[in-house]
A and B are shown apart, each in its own frame.
Chain A
């Protein structure tokens, strides 16, 4: 009846992660060098933070394709406001984050009230937001995101733990991960999120405000995407209108590779953390082991496919437990 520890989807993902790390470190010792570990840890939180929100949203049975566009939109709009409206950068970024929240408030309302699938709504929103960002910048990246050093220290500062460089974004990612684990598995609303994704009408019949929860999750994921975008822009001191392209697909891949069901009802933050590590590690390691850059999506796609087949086999074998 009860699923044993070894049948959990996180375990198979974790096993593959270990194999991947072993293979990469065996093939190229540079993979475990301080420099390379620092690189992986610098990129990882930016997608990881979005993946946390995506896990919650997928568990409730919806998904959001506009996150990559919001990732670029927020820092670009913030910087434009700071440069042209004469307001301070932190305040301008705050306004941009609020604007990003409004984008997904619209997503949430359209999906729940108009009853159109989140795939279509957020696909349209992706184009709208990406288009706005490109048009506003005329396609050129905005530089000189220096200004306020305090903000940069908090969101994108770094320090060395021994030889490894740790970015502030990693600390944020860890804190937000703990929060997401709490919300999904230990809080009242977490029970609601899983119930809504599993059987919406049953949840509604029990008095769960399903639409409000979904709208809240849409807003949460866009705030996370906006935060990640700001962190990325501060880290590289530039806001690009094409930043975060295809992040939506990468993030969804991370989440489902970790064992969260695309159809809703079953989500795991631990699985997502493994998925984030797995995909970032593969992207990084595959270059180090000498796979030509243009070929590496073949491997990434192959590994995602493999993971999905493992999950589906486990699911069939052990039933819906």
Chain B
């Protein structure tokens, strides 16, 4: 078994009287892609937001590399190597690719000036160009082009490469192929495989079960704030997973229909 990169233990989160997460536990290992599945309202997004520091935990413990950690702000998560790519674009459309890639971690020339420190524009451009080349996103992209001029698939690739560039231990993708065309979706899925091959771990949230079989090693399925299944994708199939998500046993249903 590979080493555990992140382990969630008994995570709970409540908003007033609403118990959104009710004791969630699972772990992700090095170089593993775990699909996080569940119907709308199952608690996937809430879970991701607690891991990435947008919400604070009501209870439970997160471990990174076996050590207990406290995440109260997005910056905490980033510093621990947790990079989240939210479904509502994680990019500022008016900024250039280079400026987006380094947002919040800009290289500066006189760090003593704090937030007023001058940007190291040459370094910014150089590193961004290197990164674009390394991840093999269409080489025609100029690091100074605004994100707004890119296609949806290119934008997701930029978001993911940003996470890779900071040697994230774990990259969380929240429905990355939402609103993408077929071609672009395939591009993102291909990219996910490359990221995995490079040794990063991923949590991949999706509603598309077919994508799970293309990229994921394991599937963690949530319902009503709980993990109801944690299964090896290679030993499962679409119907079984769909059944667990909805709570109905579709296999039995199909069998019953065939016989009936």
Chain A positions near chain B (C-beta within 8 angstroms): 1-3, 182-183, 186-192, 194-195, 197-199, 201-208, 261, 265-266, 319-321
Nearest-neighbor residue (CB-CB) of B52 within chain A: A205
In the complex, are the beta carbons of B115 and A197 less than 8 A apart? no
Q: DSSP majority for the A interface?
A: helix
In the complex, are the beta carbons of A197 and B118 less than 8 A apart? no
Q: CB-CB < 8 A to B78: which residues of A?
A: 206-207
**Interface residues in B189-216 (C-beta closer than 8 Å to A):** none
| Number of A-B residue pairs having CB atoms within 8 Å of each other in the complex | 105
- When chains A and B are docked, how far (Å) is the Cα of A319 from the Cα of B146? 10
Question: Which stretch in B33-41, B91-99, B125-133, B219-227 binds the other chain?
Answer: B91-99
Could you tell me how many residues of chain B have their Cβ less than 8 Å away from some Cβ of chain A? 38
Q: CB-CB < 8 A to A199: which residues of B?
A: 89, 91-93
- When chains A and B are docked, how far (Å) is the Cα of A74 from the Cα of B142? 48
In the complex, are the beta carbons of B91 and A202 less than 8 A apart? yes
- When chains A and B are docked, how far (Å) is the Cα of A189 from the Cα of B113? 11
Nearest-neighbor residue (CB-CB) of A208 within chain B: B104
Nearest-neighbor residue (CB-CB) of A212 within chain B: B115
Q: CB-CB < 8 A to A182: which residues of B?
A: 118
Q: DSSP majority for the B interface?
A: loop
- When chains A and B are docked, how far (Å) is the Cα of A188 from the Cα of B74? 19
Q: Which of A188, A194, A195 lies at the interface centre, i.e. has the most chain B CB atoms within 10 A of its CB?
A: A188
Nearest-neighbor residue (CB-CB) of A195 within chain B: B92
In the complex, are the beta carbons of B93 and A205 less than 8 A apart? no
- Among A187, A202, A203, A319, contact of B115 (Cβ-Cβ < 8 Å): A187
Nearest-neighbor residue (CB-CB) of B84 within chain A: A205
- When chains A and B are docked, how far (Å) is the Cα of A228 from the Cα of B78? 42
B247 in the interface, Cβ–Cβ < 8 Å? no
In the complex, are the beta carbons of A186 and B119 less than 8 A apart? yes
Q: CB-CB < 8 A to B89: which residues of A?
A: 199, 202
* Given A2-B142, A206-B74: A187 and B149 interface contact (C-beta under 8 Å): no
